[in-house]
Amino acid sequence: MDIQKIREDFPILSRTVYGKPLVYFDNGATTQKPRLVVDALVDEYYSVNANVHRGVHYLSQQATELHEASRETVRQFINAGSTNEVVFTRGTTESINLLVSSFGDEFMQEGDEVILSVMEHHSNIVPWQLLAARKGIAIKVIPMNDKGELLLDEYEKLFTERTKIVSVVQVSNVLGTVNPVKEMIATAHAHGVPFLVDAAQSIPHMKVDVQDLDADFLVFSAHKVYGPTGVGVLYGKEEWLDRMPPYQGGGEMIQHVSFEKTTFNELPFKFEAGTPDYIGTTGLAKALDYVNGIGLDPIAAHEHELTTYALKRLKEIPNMRIFGEAADRGAVISFLVGDIHHFDLGTLLDRLGIAVRTGHHCAQPLMQRLGTCIICHVQYTIGSGRISGWDRTRQPDVLKILIAIPARIAIFFIL
């Protein structure tokens, strides 16, 4: 894998920040976009733009074909059984809210239970809390050990006859822990309970096969995998989506409307009210094609190499605290250095052109479990503290942050 050639696909990586070459480690929040994705968006706006599904004219037909071809690209990427099982949304957050609302309205009553994990993103906690406030459901939480691994024995004990669904992240956006969701899905199914997989942080880094996992639902965002913002996916087994009511009403999701009664469209359109982001879905498809062109296996191997190297070297820095030591982990490293405030360290690294994420990372319950309020975080990708997303990242970029952190720490002792 030619990392330098890949980096050339991302124009933003050639810019400078405060006169320093950009080193982008904030891929857990959003990835940068390869030129071919942006070019595809511009080209469709300038040459094909027309509303989909509603017109007999040429442009509308062409735009519809591109939009539905994008759905097929997503289907193939996650190995869904049918495009009927691929619902386009605005992102992971809306996908989860759609699922919680529709599934909760149809299948959950007061006293019913959902099982989450302690390492969930707020987007997989708050919607369930809203449902709990509305319908009186109970939320149960899978604990973890000090290494950042879910306690599967405790998970098994959480099931009761009132458990209606499990919703768990595949890869923690804070710890990088890769949860054994296939095993966890099998456990849920043994109790007759469906399972939602939050794949926002796994889709860019590993092969995700919904049929192999036997996932009932799976969600992810385009912008985490080199696509545009404002586009996401909800995968659902057809047998479940058929039984769930629509999430929103409006155009496209209907078959016939009268003041007396409305009948709804077939899948997946029943869940896609209004004009979709048909340009954005083309961008998502181009991004997935781009990832496939590189290959998820080479990406994973490169990320593993860089993560192993970075962890080893970061631990050599005095007073370095690494959060998350799971045996199976992704390309994410979260850390604090002594008593230095995360904001101060992040700001000082920024002045060197190094972009890291600082804060609670939309995972405050996890922060409470870790005994801290906020941490620095870096994630690697194919060109990039979370240090997150290594597939754009070169070892020289890793060396820059390894050198920069001790240098910035010294400032606190000099001042």
Amino acid at 82: S
Q: How far is Cα 47 from Cα 225, in angstroms, rounded to an integer?
A: 25
CA distances from 186 to 123, 156, 190, 193 (A): 24, 11, 6, 9
Of the candidates 243, 379, 254, the residue with the CA atom closest to the CA atom of residue 307: 379
Vertex 372 angle, CA 370 and 378, to 5°: 85
Residues noted as catalytic: 362
Are 232 and 90 spatial neighbours (Cβ–Cβ below 8 Å)?
A: yes
Q: How far is Cα 229 from Cα 400, in angstroms, rounded to an integer?
A: 29
The residues, any chain, with a CB within 8 Å of residue 341's CB and separated by 6 or more, are none
Amino acid at 323: F
**How many residues can be counted in the chain?**
415
Of the candidates 103, 99, 79, the residue with the CA atom closest to the CA atom of residue 87: 99
Q: How far is Cα 303 from Cα 191, in angstroms, rounded to an integer?
A: 36
Q: How far is Cα 323 from Cα 340, in angstroms, rounded to an integer?
A: 15
